[in-house]
Amino acid sequence: MPVVARQKTLGTFFTMPPGAKAPPPQQSNLHEMWRKRSSKPKDASTGENAAQDVDLAGRTEGKPRRRKQRTTSSPVGASSPPVSQDDDRTEPGPSTTGGRAKRRRIIDSDDEGEPLPSAMPTDEPIEEEEEFLISDTEEGSAAITNAQLAMSKTVDVDVDGGWKVGESIPYAALTHVFGMIEATSKRLEITALLTSFLLLVIKRSKEGDTDSLRQAVYLCINRLCPDYKGLELGIGESLLQKAIAESTGRKLEAIKADLKEVGDLGLVAINSKNSQRTLFKPKPLTVSFVFTQLTEIAMTSGNASQNKKIQIVTKLLAACKATSQEAKYIIRSLEGKLRIGLAERTLIVSLAHAIVLSENEKGGNKWNKETLAQKLEEGANIVKSVYSELPSYDHVIPALLRGGIQGLRADCKLSPGIPLKPMLAKPTKAIGEVLDRFEGKRFTCEYKYDGERAQVHKTEGGELSVFSRNSEDMSAKYPDIFEQLPKAIKDGTTTFVLDCEAVAIDRTTMRLLPFQELSRRKRKDVKVEDIKVWVCLFAFDLLYLNGEPLLHRSLVDRRELLRKHFAEVTGGVHVAKASDGETTDEIQAFLEESVKDGCEGLMVKMLDTDASFYEPSRRSINWLKLKKDYLNGVGDSFDLVVVGGYHGKGKRTAVYGAFLLACYDPDKEILKTHAETLKDLEVAKCRADVDTGGAKPDVWFEPKIVWEVLAADLSLSPIYSAAKGLVEARGISLRFPRFIRMRDDKNADDATGPEQIAEMYQRQSLANKGGKKSKIEDDFW
């Protein structure tokens, strides 16, 4: 069926102005200028960074903070490439060992006590090979080869003699493995380490015990349950600082200072540990206990809940062995970032490998090398695939322990009511790139709507749910969807899973609204009668229908089923606008049309063959996205002055993590920034103090360096003040800013001015309002 749209009445779908999109987005990153200690700037290549925006005035004072690196900021680098620091050793700090030790473990002290074989205490870099033992060393050499790693040869990961079958897993055993994982950046090695640990867990679990493995797995990926259940810790950096202060008897201020220096609360916890240690030996922590306590923290809410949470954390910290890294990982788990270079994807592979290896052992290790290698790979693929269809360890782990890899598929299937992993898209720099990749294949281009992903399910019981891109249950946010969708469900359509984009719409003009409008909607307990900004659903895929998964059907088929089983509800539910045109000109024209209609660009998808199946696990990125700002020299770019900097965290400790950029207002002879920060206030109020608030960068710079920055869009911001008053009371900020290059040839007063920014904002806004309205074709379906 023709997808083409024809004009129709109300349809304007296009949206609106884009104007604003989200808040100033995040900035991207930047790069920092150099690292600290190095006397020599190694420089590197490009850096990048991002921009935020900023404020006004020209006055900038720089704060003296860390002079160390700051020195640099300037010019030097400038002239040369911006530097990225890469050296890895960029270590942070001063003396501290700060940031994560990268390649080799620097681990320090804390670990020393451990009986690890290799243990050497000092900071000496340790070669990895010495760090652990290969248990079955057959090859003469002790070195771990990639081939061995790829096969997940097991490695000795026990500490303190390990634990016995049926006993609870010591938490120290887990954190010991975390430490080993953190000490390397080699993926194969990480996989092997984790596999070895999980295999131990499996072998030492009693028959029928699925909790041990399940809890260990959850702690490894730092979660408590599937995301759609919505259980959250409700604790973060600040509460943790209080807890650390409380448990060590140190002052909150001291903790904060350490954090700034070291960039990682986990390390702060470990380093501050001794001051107040009680003498009696606490009972050692177990994986199960830690998991239970974390869950407890997550479940406490309401009055005085923060104190209760802090108490639990304090209790956990007190139970950590002083010589271990337990405290570090307890804290990082609570912060939600383990930062050991291990995340879900790697865990899935390790889990699959551990299961396969345990099956092999049960069978008497009969598989030869080749067979084993092949079973490992196949196992990983099966687990990945099954997990992507039913992303719940609560289901998958018991099933694996029960029926092994072979039984998994039958046991765990896509089922409405439980979100599946979404297909993702990869950026494309030119239309030519799209053609290259899809050469000779049939493909389609669809509008890339600017809203939020909405995976809509209808279960057998008739219940509707909406899940986000990250599998969170958003049902409470969209009563409007529940009101409209039933009208779109044709007779005979019982159960289904739709993949859609939910976009804000103005129901009187039928125009699509910018993402920013959607993001400002209420999120919880929304009642239809209170809704001011309505949502329109644009369906682009159908993953399940009437009891049958469609994941292994071609996109053409799925799309046809979608059109056949659903009907359009004007302004409420539509199918994504598509064009199957395949020439550069057609694509180019459709891209422009999409932008005019208020979309971000296009999504390009293969139509036939198994390459068009909905299998997020096969290739994490299967679709292509084409946006104007990706195209060379096409997006809106700005030349802005760097006026402020924010200290980076984690890996970026000791370097700037973000920058505040300003545009230049010649009339006022001052820099008007995108951000209204302190400075802005200061000016208004005279030079009062600076501590107002959050928008304040950690450091101010002399306005001198100019960077060219590219943005996807402009948005209105309550914080930043660039071009404030020219378009609206709010200032304008950039969406998805990224550093393009240094403009050595420009001075602060050559920077982009507020009127230019205001003009661009108007232009983008107009683009959508203007034209004819696009319409929604009803008979399309």
Ligand X SMILES: Nc1ncnc2c1ncn2[C@@H]1O[C@H](COP(=O)(O)O)[C@@H](O)[C@H]1O
Partner DNA sequence: CCGGACTGCACC
Partner DNA sequence: GTTCGGT
Partner DNA sequence: ACCGAACGTGCAGTCCGG
Question: What are the catalytic residues?
Answer: 448
Name the 3-class secondary structure at 437.
helix
User: By rule CB under 6 A, what string of x and - marks binding of each residue 381-420 to ligand X?
Assistant: ----------------------------------------
Stretch that binds ligand X, among 236-244, 288-296, 446-454, 724-732 (CB under 6 A): 446-454
> Nearer Cβ to DNA, position 204 or 627?
627
60 contacts 700 by C-beta, under 8 angstroms: yes
440 φψ region: left (φ > 0), alpha (ψ -120 to 50), beta (else): left
Q: What, of DNA, ligand X, none, does residue 746 touch, CB below 5 to 8 Å by kind?
A: none
Q: Which of 499, 513, 508 is nearest to 450 (CA)?
A: 513
Least separation in angstroms between residue 472's CB and DNA is: 4
> Nearer Cβ to ligand X, position 197 or 613?
613
Residues 7-66 that bind ligand X (CB under 6 A): none
Tokens of 564: 């056949």
> Nearer Cβ to DNA, position 623 or 780?
623
Q: What, of DNA, ligand X, none, does residue 540 touch, CB below 5 to 8 Å by kind?
A: ligand X
Q: CA–CA separation, 372 vs 746, rounded Å? A: 62
Least separation in angstroms between residue 500's CB and ligand X is: 8
> Nearer Cβ to ligand X, position 468 or 721?
468
Q: What, of DNA, ligand X, none, does residue 141 touch, CB below 5 to 8 Å by kind?
A: none
> Nearer Cβ to DNA, position 625 or 773?
625
> Nearer Cβ to ligand X, position 272 or 428?
428
> Nearer Cβ to ligand X, position 289 or 630?
630
Q: Does 629 interact with ligand X (rule: CB under 6 A)? A: no
Identified binder of ligand X from the candidate list 132, 171, 393, 540, rule CB under 6 A: 540
Question: Got the DSSP string for 8-67?
Answer: -SS----B------SSS--------S--SS-SS----S------------S--------H
Give how far Cα 6 sits from Cα of 13, 278, 511, 576, 583, Å.
Answer: 12, 76, 16, 14, 21
Least separation in angstroms between residue 616's CB and ligand X is: 11
DSSP H helical ranges for 132-183: 146-150, 171-182
Site of tokens 């499996």: 202
Tokens of 656: 């700037």
Least separation in angstroms between residue 427's CB and ligand X is: 7
Q: CA–CA separation, 514 vs 715, rounded Å? A: 9
> Nearer Cβ to ligand X, position 375 or 453?
453
Q: CA–CA separation, 778 vs 770, rounded Å? A: 22
The CB density around residue 459, as the number of other CB atoms within 10 Å, is 16
Tokens of 325: 């890294």
Number of amino acids touching ligand X (CB under 6 A) = 13
Least separation in angstroms between residue 469's CB and ligand X is: 5
Residues 541-580 that bind ligand X (CB under 6 A): 576
Least separation in angstroms between residue 671's CB and DNA is: 17
Residues 6+ apart with CB under 8 A from 501: 449, 450, 451, 452, 453, 454, 537, 538, 540, 576
Residues 6+ apart with CB under 8 A from 326: 171, 172, 175, 285, 320
Residues 469-508 that bind ligand X (CB under 6 A): 469, 501
504 phi/psi in degrees, rounded to 5: -70, 140
Q: What, of ligand X, DNA, none, does residue 215 touch, CB below 5 to 8 Å by kind?
A: none
Q: Does 449 interact with ligand X (rule: CB under 6 A)? A: yes
Identified binder of ligand X from the candidate list 625, 738, 773, 775, rule CB under 6 A: 625
CA-based radius of gyration for the chain = 28
Q: CA–CA separation, 320 vs 281, rounded Å? A: 10
Least separation in angstroms between residue 4's CB and DNA is: 24
Q: What, of DNA, ligand X, none, does residue 187 touch, CB below 5 to 8 Å by kind?
A: DNA
Residue whose beta carbon is closest to ligand X: 453
Stretch that binds ligand X, among 225-233, 278-286, 390-398, 445-453 (CB under 6 A): 445-453
Identified binder of ligand X from the candidate list 254, 425, 430, 690, rule CB under 6 A: 425
Give how far Cα 776 sits from Cα of 311, 510, 569, 747, Å.
Answer: 57, 10, 10, 49
Q: What, of DNA, ligand X, none, does residue 238 touch, CB below 5 to 8 Å by kind?
A: DNA
Q: What, of DNA, ligand X, none, does residue 657 touch, CB below 5 to 8 Å by kind?
A: DNA
> Nearer Cβ to ligand X, position 325 or 594?
594
Q: Which of 713, 683, 710, 675 is nearest to 59 (CA)?
A: 683
Q: Residue 473 gets which letter from DSSP? A: B
237-248 and 305-318 helices, crossing angle to 10°: 50
> Nearer Cβ to DNA, position 611 or 683?
611
Least separation in angstroms between residue 579's CB and ligand X is: 11
Length of the chain: 781
Q: Does 353 interact with ligand X (rule: CB under 6 A)? A: no
Name the 3-class secondary structure at 516.
helix
Stretch that binds ligand X, among 193-201, 349-357, 443-451, 630-638 (CB under 6 A): 443-451
Q: CA–CA separation, 487 vs 503, rounded Å? A: 18
Tokens of 66: 């860390």
Least separation in angstroms between residue 445's CB and ligand X is: 9
Q: CA–CA separation, 669 vs 665, rounded Å? A: 6
Q: What, of ligand X, DNA, none, does residue 345 touch, CB below 5 to 8 Å by kind?
A: DNA
Identified binder of ligand X from the candidate list 446, 568, 676, 680, rule CB under 6 A: 446
Residues 6+ apart with CB under 8 A from 541: 423, 498, 499, 555, 558, 559, 562, 614
Q: CA–CA separation, 342 vs 277, rounded Å? A: 31
Q: What, of DNA, ligand X, none, does residue 720 touch, CB below 5 to 8 Å by kind?
A: DNA
Q: What, of DNA, ligand X, none, does residue 738 touch, CB below 5 to 8 Å by kind?
A: DNA
Least separation in angstroms between residue 540's CB and ligand X is: 4
Least separation in angstroms between residue 339's CB and DNA is: 4
Q: Does 603 interact with ligand X (rule: CB under 6 A)? A: yes
Name the 3-class secondary structure at 466.
strand
Q: What, of ligand X, DNA, none, does residue 524 touch, CB below 5 to 8 Å by kind?
A: DNA
Secondary element (H or E) of residue 404: helix 393-411
The CB density around residue 124, as the number of other CB atoms within 10 Å, is 10
Q: Does 511 interact with ligand X (rule: CB under 6 A)? A: no
> Nearer Cβ to DNA, position 144 or 372?
144
Stretch that binds ligand X, among 127-135, 229-237, 380-388, 448-456 (CB under 6 A): 448-456
Contacting residues toward ligand X, per CB under 6 A: 424-425, 446-449, 453, 469, 501, 540, 576, 603, 625
